[in-house]
Amino acid sequence: MRIKRGKKAYWQGVQGEYLAAGLLRLKGYRLLARRWRSARGEIDIIARKSNLIAIVEIKSRPNLQQAMEALSPAQQKRIIAAADLWLAQQPDYAQLSLRFDLVAICPRKWPRHIKACWTA
């Protein structure tokens, strides 16, 4: 049975998010939200570690360079806008630091966590 291309990409994305969530938990992050959506955009993972909120984008690509290149400036702006909206809805987290990270999922390799991949 053949899976349509869109469904295959969707399930690969879900699997990548699962791997990224596991990696972040192993590194001591507490997941606050997964696949958080708003009218402004979607955030793959929102995680907290001590006084830091990490807004994490996940990219599944053949290598790290392609994963980093796949994060376009327009996509970064959408994620920043969504993060602003999420923070506005979470007054308890207003005093914490905010960072934008990337987790690259590459075949047959451990997921790579790139901290502060871009800034707002």
pLDDT band at residue 53 under the 50/70/90 scheme: very high
- Whether the pLDDT of residue 110 is over 70: the answer is yes
CA distances (Å), origin 101, targets 21, 52, 68: 13, 12, 11
Q: What's the pTM value of the predicted model, to 2 decimals?
A: 0.89
Taking residue 42's Cβ as centre, other Cβ atoms within 10 Å add up to 13
- Whether the pLDDT of residue 72 is over 80: the answer is yes
Percent of the chain clearing pLDDT 70 (strictly above): 96
Q: pLDDT digit string (tens) for 2-41?
A: 557 678 878 887 888 999 999 999 999 999 999 999 999 9
Q: What is the set of domains in the chain, with CATH numbers?
A: 5-118 (3.40.1350.10)
